[in-house]
Amino acid sequence: MAIQDIYPTALRLLGRPVLVVGGGPVAERRAKGLLDAGAKVTVVAPIATETLQSLDASGLLSWEAREYRTSDLDGVWFVQTATGTSAVDTQVAADAEAQRIWCVNASDHEASAAWTPAVAVVDDVKIAINAGGDPRRAMALRNAVATALETGDLPLRRHRKPGAGGSVALVGGGPGDSGLITVRGRRLLGQADVVVADRLGPRELLKELAPDVRVIEVGKTPGHHPVPQLEINRILVDEALKGNRVVRLKGGDPYVLGRGGEEAEFCRQNGVEVEVVSGVTSAISVPAAAGIPVTHRGLAKGFSVVTGHEELSEVPARPDHTVVLLMGVAQLRDSAAALAGSGLPLDTPVGIVENGYLPDQRVTIGTLGSIADQAEAVGVANPAVIVIGDVVRVSPFAPQHFKTADYSTITPNRPRVRSN
């Protein structure tokens, strides 16, 4: 049978009687698939696998422990042979052909009246692939297509909207590089009807959206909020109640100083389904882009993440406790003074990473006492993440005199001896 003879279609077998002849592993897989489709399954075989016997005992299918009879086809809509014996499978296929019943002959795909495709399900999309009668080839293609759908490389967006209301997904897009969004976030973005976008995050992905996907810009800059948070909340709910799939695309993680909790609460209060997709938070990933870990054996065992607008008096004032400042450029001088006033030494290393992971990334490294002047001199600007603590010494961008010889990932921790 040439592949041109195949007419792809999908059978709706809910409540319809089907027959599986055979009781081995192949019959078990086919029976399970037919049960998933809602069919009334009868298995005919002298011996059956433990799973088939359990399904029979639970009443999910009927197992006839005997040899096949032609009368088993009476009233059947679909047949699957899987006995492992060519003569029996051929007989079943011939009987089914005589009664004009579609039959998959597992012993001879060339002579089979129907083929079973390799199947995968992604959300509510079912993929079925035939590959010229080569099941391994079909499975490889199925896996590739399923992966492309799951990662958002192929469009999963609905064009016929379901009758039910829409939904909101709060998606953390990471620090800006489009490759750092999660697989789940990328998939939801590909399904969106409306995207409510921040100024930060993976902006390049917006260019890949279908032309009819609406992008609503609500980006904020320090001290300038053209779309107030309450209005953003209202936009999310209003668009979802129109039946749209809404993605709130944020930079970093929606639950790390991103006001995602407020948005999720507002959606739930208004009866809108909401999903939160964590992102790669800028507080950890952007320092890593400059080779700065927020913790490091022998240097720091903990860290605090705050905004530059918050009071720093409660943050441990020790070089071995890393402080990460988000949105802190404008108040860097005041923040440094506050930490110094709490007892943090002025020679504590400080690193500033602008535009992390992007082509124009820039790293500025100094000390608590010098960093404000350095930042002004080179024109440091948001988006930037500021890291304060001894971990900055690990960065390959740190000056040589910042390096210490008494920390290691191999030797046990021991008290650090500061050099003059």
What is the model's pLDDT at position 113?
83
Q: Residue 150: pLDDT band by 50, 70, 90 thresholds?
A: confident
What is the model's pLDDT at position 96?
95
Interior angle at CA 404, CA 400 and CA 406, nearest 5: 160
Amino acid identity, position 394: V
Q: What percent of the chain has a predicted confidence (pLDDT) above 70?
A: 91
How many CA atoms are closer than 13 Å to the CA of 385, on its beta-carbon side?
32
Q: Which of 16-30, 298-312, 372-386 has the lowest mean pLDDT?
A: 298-312
- Domains assigned to the chain: 3-116 (3.40.50.720), 167-280 (3.40.1010.10), 284-402 (3.30.950.10)
Q: How far is CA 70 from CA 80, 98, 360, 380, in A?
A: 14, 11, 74, 83
Question: 20: Cβ–Cβ under 8 A, 6 or more apart, which residues?
Answer: 27, 30, 31, 34, 41, 42, 43, 44, 79, 80, 82
Is the pTM here over 0.85, yes or no? no
Label residues 88-126 b or e (16+ Cβ within 10 Å = b).
bbebbbebbeeeebbbbbbbebeebebbbbbebebeeee
Write down how long the chain is.
420
The mean pLDDT value for 310-334 works out to: 89
Instruction: Choose the catalytic residue: 32, 108, 220, 334.
Output: 220
Higher pLDDT, 128 or 58: 58
> What are the pLDDT digits (tens) for 164-201?
679 999 999 998 888 899 989 998 998 899 999 998 88
Instruction: Choose the catalytic residue: 177, 193, 198, 253.
Output: 198
> What are the pLDDT digits (tens) for 368-398?
999 999 999 999 998 899 999 999 999 999 9
Label residues 389-420 b or e (16+ Cβ within 10 Å = b).
bbbbbbbeebeeebeeeebeeeeeeeeeeeee
> What are the pLDDT digits (tens) for 179-188?
899 989 998 9
Other C-beta atoms lying within 10 Å of the C-beta of residue 302: 12
Q: Residue 2: pLDDT band by 50, 70, 90 thresholds?
A: very low
Question: Nearest to residue 11, comparing CAs of 133, 146, 104, 105?
Answer: 104
What is the model's pLDDT at position 192?
93
Other C-beta atoms lying within 10 Å of the C-beta of residue 382: 17
Q: Residue 417: pLDDT band by 50, 70, 90 thresholds?
A: very low
Q: Residue 412: pLDDT band by 50, 70, 90 thresholds?
A: very low
Other C-beta atoms lying within 10 Å of the C-beta of residue 54: 12
How many CA atoms are closer than 13 Å to the CA of 260, on its beta-carbon side?
27
Judge whether 198 counts as a catalytic residue. yes
Q: Which of 48-62, 241-255, 277-291, 397-411 has the lowest mean pLDDT?
A: 397-411
What is the model's pLDDT at position 309?
64
Q: Which of 102-111, 113-122, 294-303 has the lowest mean pLDDT?
A: 113-122
How high does pLDDT run on average in the chain?
Answer: 88
Judge whether 126 counts as a catalytic residue. no
Q: Does pLDDT of 415 surpass 50?
A: no
Query: Could you tell me which residues are beta bridge partners of residue 353?
Result: 363, 385
Higher pLDDT, 401 or 261: 261
Q: Does pLDDT of 143 surpass 90?
A: no
> What are the pLDDT digits (tens) for 203-247?
899 988 888 999 999 976 665 568 899 999 999 999 999 999 999
Q: Residue 160: pLDDT band by 50, 70, 90 thresholds?
A: low
